[in-house]
Amino acid sequence: MQTLTGRHGRGGPLVRILLTGGAGFIGRHVHHQLVADGHDIVVLDSLRPDVHHHRPQLEGLVVGDIRDPEAVDHALSGVDAVIHLAAKVGLGVDLDDMDDYVSSNSLGTAVLLRAMGRHQVQKLVYASSMVVYGEGRYECDRHGVVAPGPRRIEDLDRGRFEPPCPICSDPLRPGLVDETAPTDPRNTYAATKLNGEHLAAAWARETGGRVAAMRFHNVYGPGMPRNTPYAGVAALFRSALDRGEAPRVFEDGRQRRDFVHVRDIASAVGAAAGALDESPPFAAYNVGSGTVRTIGDLAEELASAYGGPSPVVTGDYRLGDVRHITASSARLREAFSWKPDYDLATGIADLLRGGDLLRGGDDRR
Residue with the bigger pLDDT between 322 and 20: it is 20
Q: What is the CA radius of gyration of the chain?
A: 20
Residue with the bigger pLDDT between 11 and 299: it is 299
Residue with the bigger pLDDT between 116 and 59: it is 116
Q: Is the pLDDT of residue 93 over 90?
A: no
Catalytic positions are 189
pLDDT tens for 251-270 read 999 999 999 999 999 999 99
* Residue 186: per-residue pLDDT: 86
Q: Tell me the whole-structure pTM to 2 decimals.
A: 0.91
Note whether 135 and 163 are within 8 A (CB).
yes
Mean pLDDT, range 68-97, rounded to an integer: 89
- Judged by average pLDDT, the poorest of 184-188, 218-222, 229-233 is 229-233
Count of residues for the chain? Answer: 365
Angle at 232 between CA 97 and CA 310, to 5 degrees: 135
pLDDT tens for 265-282 read 999 999 999 999 999 999
Cα–Cα distances in angstroms (integers) from residue 77 to residues 39, 72, 113, in the given order: 15, 9, 14
Q: Is the pLDDT of residue 11 over 80?
A: no
Question: Which amino acid is located at 274 in the chain?
Answer: G
Q: Which of 220, 247, 242 is nearest to 231 (CA)?
A: 220
Q: Is the pLDDT of residue 9 over 70?
A: no
* Residue 5: per-residue pLDDT: 52
* Residue 363: per-residue pLDDT: 35
* Residue 14: per-residue pLDDT: 52
* Residue 353: per-residue pLDDT: 84
Q: Is the pLDDT of residue 240 over 90?
A: yes
Q: Tell me the C-alpha distance between 102 and 191, whole Å.
A: 9
Q: What is the 3-state secondary structure (H, E, C) of 106-173?
A: HHHHHHHHHHHHHHCCCEEEEEEEHHHHCCCEEEECCCEEECCCCCCHHHHHCCCCCCCCCCCCCCCE
Mean pLDDT, range 351-356, rounded to an integer: 72
Residues of the chain with pLDDT > 70: what percent? 90
pLDDT tens for 116-169 read 999 999 999 999 999 999 999 999 999 999 999 889 999 999 999 999 999 999
Q: Is the pLDDT of residue 339 over 60?
A: yes
pLDDT grade, residue 230 (50/70/90)?
A: low
The CATH class for the domain spanning 16-137+175-359 reads: alpha beta
Mean pLDDT, range 179-191, rounded to an integer: 92
Note whether 20 and 86 are within 8 A (CB).
yes
pLDDT grade, residue 1 (50/70/90)?
A: very low
When mean pLDDT is compared over 8-22, 57-71, 195-209, 214-228, the highest value belongs to: 195-209
Mean pLDDT, range 165-186, rounded to an integer: 95
Q: Is the pLDDT of residue 10 over 60?
A: no
* Residue 259: per-residue pLDDT: 95
Backbone torsions φ then ψ of 104, nearest 5 degrees: -65, -45
Q: Is the pLDDT of residue 6 over 90?
A: no
Mean pLDDT, range 27-52, rounded to an integer: 92
pLDDT tens for 303-320 read 999 999 999 999 999 887
